[in-house]
């Protein structure tokens, strides 16, 4: 029977059945039959609003919810919240904020816990409107360009993976016309991998990606290569209850010139009966680090981002670790991408303060925790959904997936996801990269905290932790002087000074840090001289002592002994008294330069610890030996718990660039 010929009661029954099934595209036809008979009826207007919201036809959703708000539909108190959401998705931030604030204020005295989550969510959405209005005043100079029909098609194109400058890999549910969602299974229509070759600046028509990946039984997509391009991770998904995808992650290896048949990853990654999807790959000294989205138990809400390390020796993934509540929320966090060059994790969230539905955020793992997520701003983010952000190795271009206006529309201008290119302006970038090494072994030293310090001795950006298999990375400004510092328990602070020259092209500097193990062996301070037979320091002694001052300030937790030695000329009592006075002179100078007295011990050893003979074997005087014995040394004899190298944070503009 045609939809139009059904009576309102049967239309409601069929519409509700389809709505609860998740087939909103079909449900709206039946709700419209009801509205033809009773245009102002609250129930079909509300259900139409919800259906259009789920179908991402925000203009229509706004109209239906506005109708209920204007009518003061008391039976549907959430109508104002969803009205605000539709307004926000349509980019009407001022009106959306008013709607959210009104909704919150009207629920102020309610004790009904049913609405408590919506009240909290409305407060977050209101803050998102404030953020949008702020970001729109100064958008980033980034070009977001819609890719043409060679890549994008009606329905859904997603998960772009750059194959260098020559091609793009992505997943797509291809169709020349609208697809009824619940017909995908019936008609055998499945998402597959496609590859579009690039000639010049234009993509050629995409063709099926070769290899053992696409399936005529399941949806395949969400591809990610390992850093060495020898492993390909991707998902196979089935359409489950409520028209929701249920996915697992597979991996194929490139061996002898061909890709192996993909294997499903073990339960440390693919938790049974959970949705395990959207893999991204970083690296560690033991192998790949996999990031992915999953609704497995132990998360914060819906889909969370998890990580697991692959052990090359065992061939297994470690126990999954949730990235924590600093990243994951009660909503969904999806489409992670790890940029190895900058050690930055990008992802999308619909529950952090954002300007649209899903916004793109970035974070970095430093000092054993993930930094607070930073909104990627405008125009990377829009008033709707923005996901699957990836950046090329050149750091000048990338891709994202969005349903912003300009997509190939089926039902509405915001219904469907398309792939967009991201082009950053030709900004000249200055970067320093490097690693920390054990000075004696000349091997990478993991676990050292690395600071970038400016010429005002202020820390720039967040500190980074050195890794054996990857480099630290800091953004710089031209015509500035910087210092890199590294600290690690059991080692003296590493340090390197450098100046950034201004250039007409981007420049990456390689500066490594060497760290010496702390020992109790004495170290001679060269060129420390005193007036004859006195403890007075001569002027030429001050520069080498200033070097010691720097070492002590760079290592605020160490206690040192300053030892003075003489040759054998004169009496033992005289030489011991003179050497103690000379050691105390050095201590006094160090204290005058800001080194606290609790870190300094003066010792005079006189001639009792020679490093060379004062006389030759024939009994004659040995001037060279006596010269070596007249010396000033320092050695580390202890430490003060809790004292560490700390720099005041400075340069807010550079801090933001180093997020």
The answer to whether the beta carbons of residues 322 and 298 sit under 8 Å apart is yes
Going by their DSSP bridges, the two strands 558-565 and 600-606 should be labelled as: parallel
Q: What is the pLDDT of residue 186?
A: 44
Q: Where residue 203 falls among pLDDT bands split at 50, 70, 90?
A: very high
Radius of gyration of the chain (CA): 33
The answer to whether the beta carbons of residues 334 and 358 sit under 8 Å apart is yes
Which residues lie below 8 Å from residue 132, measured CB to CB, with a gap of 6+?
Answer: 88, 93, 355, 356, 378, 383
Nearest alpha-carbon partner for 489 in 508, 515, 525, 470: 515
| Cα 274–Cα 194–Cα 411 angle in degrees, nearest 5 | 75
CA distance linking residue 564 with residue 541, whole number of Å: 14
What does pTM read for this prediction? 0.72
Domains of the chain: 40-137 (1.25.40.10), 143-423 (2.115.10), 430-518 (2.60.40.1120), 523-639 (3.30.1330.60)
pLDDT at 485 over 60: yes
The answer to whether the beta carbons of residues 281 and 269 sit under 8 Å apart is no
Of residues 387 and 470, the one with the higher pLDDT is 387
pLDDT at 647 over 70: no
Q: H-helix or E-strand containing 24?
A: helix 24-37
Taken in order 84, 85, 90, 92, the sign of the CA dihedral is: positive
pLDDT at 642 over 80: no
Give me the residues paired with residue 161 across strands: 169
Backbone angles phi, psi at 557, to 5 degrees: -95, -5
- The rounded mean pLDDT for the chain is 90
CA distance linking residue 143 with residue 475, whole number of Å: 22
* CA distance to 410, 588, 638, per residue, from 596 (Å): 73, 10, 14
- Could you report the per-residue pLDDT of 3-34, keeping only the tens digit for each? 656 677 888 899 999 999 888 989 999 999 99
Q: H-helix or E-strand containing 588?
A: helix 572-592
CA distance linking residue 140 with residue 650, whole number of Å: 23
CA distance linking residue 653 with residue 639, whole number of Å: 36
Percent of the chain at pLDDT exceeding 90 = 68
pLDDT at 257 over 70: yes
- Could you report the per-residue pLDDT of 510-545, keeping only the tens digit for each? 999 999 999 888 888 888 888 888 999 999 989 999
Q: What is the pLDDT of residue 527?
A: 87
Q: What is the pLDDT of residue 243?
A: 66
Task: Provide the residue count of the chain.
Answer: 659
Three-state DSSP class for residue 172:
strand
The answer to whether the beta carbons of residues 558 and 573 sit under 8 Å apart is no
Q: What is the pLDDT of residue 108?
A: 60
Q: What is the pLDDT of residue 174?
A: 61
- Could you report the per-residue pLDDT of 274-331, keeping only the tens digit for each? 999 999 999 877 789 999 999 999 999 899 999 999 887 888 899 999 999 999 999 9
- Could you report the per-residue pLDDT of 100-133, keeping only the tens digit for each? 999 999 876 555 577 888 999 999 999 999 999 9
The answer to whether the beta carbons of residues 294 and 271 sit under 8 Å apart is yes
Q: Where residue 657 falls among pLDDT bands split at 50, 70, 90?
A: very low
Three-state DSSP class for residue 565:
strand
Cis before 60 (ω within 30): no
């Amino acid at each position: 029977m045609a939809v139009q010929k059904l009576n309102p009661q049967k239309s409601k029954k069929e519409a509700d059945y389809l709505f609860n099934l998740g087939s909103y595209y079909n449900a709206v036809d039946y709700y419209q039959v009801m509205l033809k008979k009773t245009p102002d009826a609250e129930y079909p207007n509300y259900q139409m609003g919800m259906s259009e919201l789920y179908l991402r036809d925000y203009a229509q959703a706004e109209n239906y919810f506005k109708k209920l708000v204007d009518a003061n539909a008391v039976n549907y108190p959430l109508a104002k919240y969803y009205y605000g959401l539709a307004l926000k998705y349509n980019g009407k931030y001022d009106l959306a904020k008013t709607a959210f604030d009104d909704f919150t204020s009207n629920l102020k005295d309610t004790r009904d816990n049913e609405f408590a989550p919506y009240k909290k969510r409305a407060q977050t959405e209101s803050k998102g409107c404030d953020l949008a209005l702020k970001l729109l005043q100064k958008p980033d100079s980034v070009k977001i360009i819609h890719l043409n029909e060679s890549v994008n098609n009606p329905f859904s194109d997603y998960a772009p993976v750059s194959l260098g400058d020559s091609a793009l890999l992505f997943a797509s549910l291809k169709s020349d016309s609208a697809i009824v969602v619940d017909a995908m299974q019936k008609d055998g229509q499945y998402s597959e991998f496609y590859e579009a070759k690039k000639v010049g600046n234009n993509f050629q028509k995409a063709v099926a990606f070769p290899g053992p990946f696409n399936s005529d039984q399941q949806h395949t997509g969400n591809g990610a290569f390992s850093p060495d391009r020898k492993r390909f991770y991707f998902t196979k998904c089935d359409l489950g209850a409520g028209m929701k995808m249920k996915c697992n992650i597979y991996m194929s290896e490139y061996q002898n010139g061909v890709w192996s048949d993909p294997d499903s990853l073990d339960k440390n990654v693919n938790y049974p009966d959970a949705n395990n999807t959207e893999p991204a790959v970083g690296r560690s000294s033991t192998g790949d680090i996999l990031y992915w989205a999953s609704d497995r138990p132990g998360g914060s809400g819906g889909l969370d981002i998890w990580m697991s390390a692959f052990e090359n020796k065992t061939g297994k993934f470690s126990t999954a670790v949730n990235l924590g509540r600093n990243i994951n929320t009660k909503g969904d966090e999806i489409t992670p991408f790890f940029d190895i060059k900058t050690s930055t994790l990008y992802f999308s969230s619909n529950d952090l303060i954002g300007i649209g539905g899903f916004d793109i955020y970035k974070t970095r793992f430093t000092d054993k925790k993930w930094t607070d997520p930073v909104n990627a701003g405008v125009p990377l983010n829009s008033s709707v959904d923005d996901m699957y952000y990836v950046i090329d190795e050149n750091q000048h271009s990338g891709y994202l997936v969005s349903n912003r206006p300009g997509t190939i529309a089926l039902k509405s201008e915001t219904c469907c996801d398309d792939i967009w290119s991201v082009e950053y302006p030709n900004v000249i970038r200055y970067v320093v990269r490097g690693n920390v090494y054990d000075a004696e072994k000349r091997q990478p030293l993991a676990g050292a905290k690395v600071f970038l310090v400016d010429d005002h001795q202020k820390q720039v950006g967040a500190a980074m932790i050195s890794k054996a298999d990857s480099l630290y990375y800091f953004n710089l400004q031209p015509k500035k002087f910087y210092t890199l510092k590294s600290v690690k328990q059991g080692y003296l602070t590493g340090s390197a000074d450098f100046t950034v020259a201004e250039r007409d092209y981007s420049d990456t500097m390689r500066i490594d840090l060497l760290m010496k193990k702390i020992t109790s062996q004495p170290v001679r301070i060269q060129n420390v001289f005193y007036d004859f037979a006195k403890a007075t320091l001569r002027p030429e002694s001050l520069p080498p002592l200033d070097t010691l001052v720097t070492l002590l300030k760079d290592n605020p937790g160490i206690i040192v002994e300053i030892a003075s030695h003489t040759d054998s000329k004169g009496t033992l009592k005289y030489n011991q008294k003179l050497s103690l006075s000379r050691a105390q002179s050095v201590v006094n100078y160090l204290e005058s330069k800001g080194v606290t007295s609790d870190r300094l011990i003066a010792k005079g050893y006189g001639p009792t610890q020679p490093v060379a003979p004062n006389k030759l074997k024939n009994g004659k005087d040995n001037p060279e030996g006596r010269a070596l014995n007249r010396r000033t040394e320092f050695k580390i004899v202890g430490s003060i718990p809790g004292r560490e190298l700390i720099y005041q944070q400075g340069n807010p503009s550079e801090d933001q660039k180093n997020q």
